Amino acid sequence: MTDRKSPPERVYEAPPTDRPISEAEAARAAGLAHNEHIKIASGYLRGTLADGLLKHATGAISEDDGQLVKFHGMYLQDDRDLRPERTKKKLDKAYSFMIRLRIAGGVVTPKQWLILDDIATTYANGTLRATTRQTFQYHGVIKSNLKRAMAGIDAALLDTIAACGDVNRNVMAATNPAQAGAHKAAYQLAKDISDTLLPKTSAWREIWLDGERVIGGEEAAEVEPVYGKTYLPRKFKTVVAVPPSNEVDIFAHDLGFIAILDKKGKVTGWNVTVGGGMGMTHGETDTFPRTADVMLFCEPADAVKVAEAVMTVQRDWGNRKSRKNARLKYTIERYGLAAFRAEVEKRVGKRLADPKPFKFEGNGDRYGWVEGEDGRHHLTLYVPSGRIKDVEGGPRFLSGLRRIAEVHEGDFRLTGNQNVIIANVPAAKRAEIEALVDDYGLTKGAGALRRNSMACVALPTCGLALAESERYLPDLITELEESLARHGLAEDEITIRMTGCPNGCARPYIAEIGLVGRGPERYHLYLGAAFDGSRLGKLYAEDVTAAEIRGTLDPLFAAYAQGRKPGERFGDYLIRAGYVARTINGPDFHEQTGALKSAA
């Protein structure tokens, strides 16, 4: 046996010492990315949005405003199913907007639910969509209805500020209702971080609610004390997890807080993770998904300060010349975790402890009824791809949850897996809620593969989608369920996720079966991720057609059924049995790809 050479010691770049450039001339001279110029010239996210809304000749807005409107929680989209016919008739695209809400921790009251339902049926496409970011988004809102929809959202005491854009986006938090005390701490931390790191510009209220413009307007130096004129280099995602459940996928995000619990289940502090992220670009190996590093431990009193420090280091160190390499994961790859931690501690003002031990068991939801430590009852419903609508001949999610909201005395919680929890039900009300769930055919669970599945929206509304996802995954799962049943694996928990493009909104790279769109009915297949979301998968097969997916996976299911060890997960087995290489992290994602041996 030959000794393997240890890898050469990593050499990191020296971190920058200056604050980001915020003047137009200097930004041009430095060759900053186009979005940096848009932000500098925007007057703290105003741009020409107010004027663009008055232009009725088109349902669109200008290209630069299309970037700015993301900071307000919106994306301009069009119905791609209608493109060919409208192009033939020389008509404008069927433009509309996707609106995403900011709901820290995914908690809404019954009253808020009813208002959001009304907006969906009045101004959107009649559906509410629970996202993988633990919030709601609307699709199909036309330009002339934007301000009406935003007024409705404001009436619910909610907003869409910073739900998208180069800012700290919607902060996710653990939902486990059985851990009432820990959930409360996680939710409060998520809310505190969300409020603290919220952009301070009044542009949202001015533009969408006809709010009064601040005297001095965008020139007021105090408008963005943390972000400055150029905000962050790219999006920044924060989550809070409570072991043993990792349903927020903590390793997939820029910043995370893992609750460290004492023997009584009380939060004693937080492990802090940094540098996770899912997005990449097909064919460009300098882009890659990355799982977060567990960097340090902090006391509860320091958590918000740590969050702000991590974000401001990324503000100052992040790459503003190339947006494809601008996320925090690339910043840490460039400058090293040690230097990053030292700078965070410097900004917090003290040395922080090393991480404490913790353990995750999975990243799925618990379905059905659970009784919490406080005697309250919680019902988790399975909502396919988070699409809350009435299905002809099937579950009537929209009308059923509306009816429940009319009588519910607790709250609702969205999960990071796109499901809905009817939470904090008093024992005396449980039978009434249960009867309504049954009356409307709502689903309290599904088969093992289906309940561990996620899909992004993809076609027809997402402009980035290369292939189907939400509309196709249910049929694919039906096929795969047949294979699994044939091999005696029908009740085995396996995570499967699909996205229409490599941006990875449904976090496919940390699913045991990950499918990423390459083109119409073609996908890259990734295998070998960890069931608890702590390890990335590896590219197993390129450009697999939709018709080939079942045939590719079936022999692997057969081998797993025959060769697994007791309790061994599918992703772990594929690595141990030599079918696919283990991904260590980051750049290693693109190394040693492909099937290592035939499964036939």
Contact 194, 171 (CB under 8 A): yes
Judge if pTM exceeds 0.85: yes
Helix (H) or strand (E) holding 322: none
What are the structural domains of the chain? 24-212+224-348 (3.30.413.10), 368-445 (3.90.480.10), 450-577 (3.30.413.10)
- pLDDT class for 4, splitting at 50, 70, 90? very low
Round to whole Å and give the CA distance between 144 and 146: 6
Q: Which of 327, 366, 456, 497 is catalytic?
A: 456
3-state helix, strand, coil in the chain (%, to 5): 35, 20, 45
Chain mean pLDDT for the chain? 95
Contact 457, 470 (CB under 8 A): yes
* Known active-site residue 237: yes
* Known active-site residue 164: no
pLDDT of amino acid 7: 56
Contact 188, 259 (CB under 8 A): no
Annotated binding site for [4Fe-4S] cluster: 456, 462, 501, 505
Q: Which of 70, 237, 518, 564 is catalytic?
A: 237
Contact 456, 498 (CB under 8 A): yes
103 contacts: CB under 8 Å, gap ≥ 6: 134, 135, 136, 158, 170, 414
pLDDT of amino acid 10: 84
Which of 57-61, 443-447, 540-544: highest mean pLDDT? 540-544
- pLDDT class for 269, splitting at 50, 70, 90? very high
List Cα–Cα distances, 396 to 215, 387, 422, 471, in angstroms. 49, 11, 15, 18
Round to whole Å and give the CA distance between 229 and 117: 36
pLDDT of amino acid 181: 87
Round to whole Å and give the CA distance between 206 and 317: 32
| Side chain identity at residue 553, one-letter code | L
* Known active-site residue 169: yes
Instruction: Give 147-182 pLDDT, tens digit per residue.
Output: 999 999 999 999 999 999 999 999 999 997 778 889
Among the residue ranges 72-76, 212-216, 344-348, the one predicted with the least confidence is 212-216
Round to whole Å and give the CA distance between 557 and 552: 10
Instruction: Give 561-571 pLDDT, tens digit per residue.
Output: 999 999 999 99
Would you call 513 helix, strand, or coil by DSSP?
strand
Round to whole Å and give the CA distance between 487 and 46: 58
pLDDT at position 6 over 90: no
Among the residue ranges 80-89, 328-337, 516-525, the one predicted with the least confidence is 80-89
* Known active-site residue 80: no
* Known active-site residue 298: no
Q: Which of 39, 129, 143, 169 is catalytic?
A: 169
Average pLDDT over residues 406-429: 96
Instruction: Give 186-203 pLDDT, tens digit per residue.
Output: 999 999 999 999 999 999
Annotated binding site for siroheme: 505
Average pLDDT over residues 1-29: 81
Six-digit token string for 471: 């509309």
Q: Which of 100, 329, 387, 535 is catalytic?
A: 100
Residue length, the chain? 600
Six-digit token string for 337: 């975790």
pLDDT of amino acid 2: 42
399 contacts: CB under 8 Å, gap ≥ 6: 390, 440
Average pLDDT over residues 459-467: 94
Instruction: Give 488-508 pLDDT, tens digit per residue.
Output: 999 999 999 999 999 999 999
* Known active-site residue 501: yes
Annotated binding site: 456, 462, 501, 505
Closest CA to 143 of 209, 95, 208: 95
Helix (H) or strand (E) holding 405: helix 397-407
| Sign of the alpha-carbon torsion through 49, 50, 53, 56 | negative
* Cβ neighbour number for residue 112 with a 10 Å cutoff: 21
Contact 90, 73 (CB under 8 A): no
- pLDDT class for 212, splitting at 50, 70, 90? low
Farthest CA pair distance, the chain: 75
pLDDT at position 537 over 60: yes
E strands in 142-280: 172-173, 238-241, 255-261, 267-274
Helix (H) or strand (E) holding 307: helix 303-317
